[in-house]
Amino acid sequence: MNLPLFFLDVQSSESYFPIGVQLLFAAGFVATMLIMSALLGPKRKTADKLANFESGIEQVGNARQPMAIKYFLVAILFVLFDVEVIFFYPYAVNFRELGWNGFWAVLMFVGFFLIGFTYIIKKGALIWED
């Protein structure tokens, strides 16, 4: 009976011992630091310490006010075009093996990419008026 090679290399539990020791030390370190900071840390609670901290900027208005949809639109478009650029990497690695068929496929991809980009620009999705 011919078994694949990964069945022949049976790992014992001894090879996992260093990983277990490292996990125990890491968990112990985290628990020790949390306990020590709770015991040794300052305990004075004042109104200034309990107030929300907004990066040093005074709070103005309600944080629940609606945001402009343009912000979300630009964020989604950035993710969309960023992911599309990632698809160029496999072509760049294998462009010799893909030949002319790969070239025409990438050219068609770039064409669709540019059509979508011109559509976004003509719709004014990237113009900030506010």
- Residues 57-113 have pLDDT tens digits of 776 777 777 777 777 888 888 888 788 888 888 888 888 888 899 899 989 988 998
Question: Which residue, chain included where needed, has tokens 């050219």?
Answer: 107
Phi, psi torsion values for 44, nearest 5 degrees: -80, 120
Whole-number percent of the chain with pLDDT over 70: 85
Instruction: Give the CATH number of the domain where residue 78 resides.
Output: 1.20.58
Within-domain flag for 6: no
Mean pLDDT of all residues in the chain?
Answer: 82
Range of the domain at 107: 13-57+65-123
Residue 130: per-residue pLDDT: 56
Within-domain flag for 113: yes
Sequence-distant (≥ 6) Cβ neighbours of residue 105 within 8 angstroms: 98
Nearest to 113 by CA among 93, 87, 95, 94: 87
Within-domain flag for 26: yes
For residues 35 and 87, the answer to whether their CB atoms sit within 8 Å is no
Total count of domains within the chain: 1
Within-domain flag for 8: no
Integer angstrom CA distances of residue 69 from 53, 75, 78, 83, 129: 26, 10, 14, 21, 12
Give yes or no for residue 9 having a pLDDT over 60.
no
Q: How far apart are the first and last CA of the chain?
A: 72
- Please tell me what DSSP assigns to residue 87: T
Within-domain flag for 21: yes
Give yes or no for residue 2 having a pLDDT over 80.
no
Within-domain flag for 109: yes
Cα separation, 38 vs 34, whole angstroms = 6
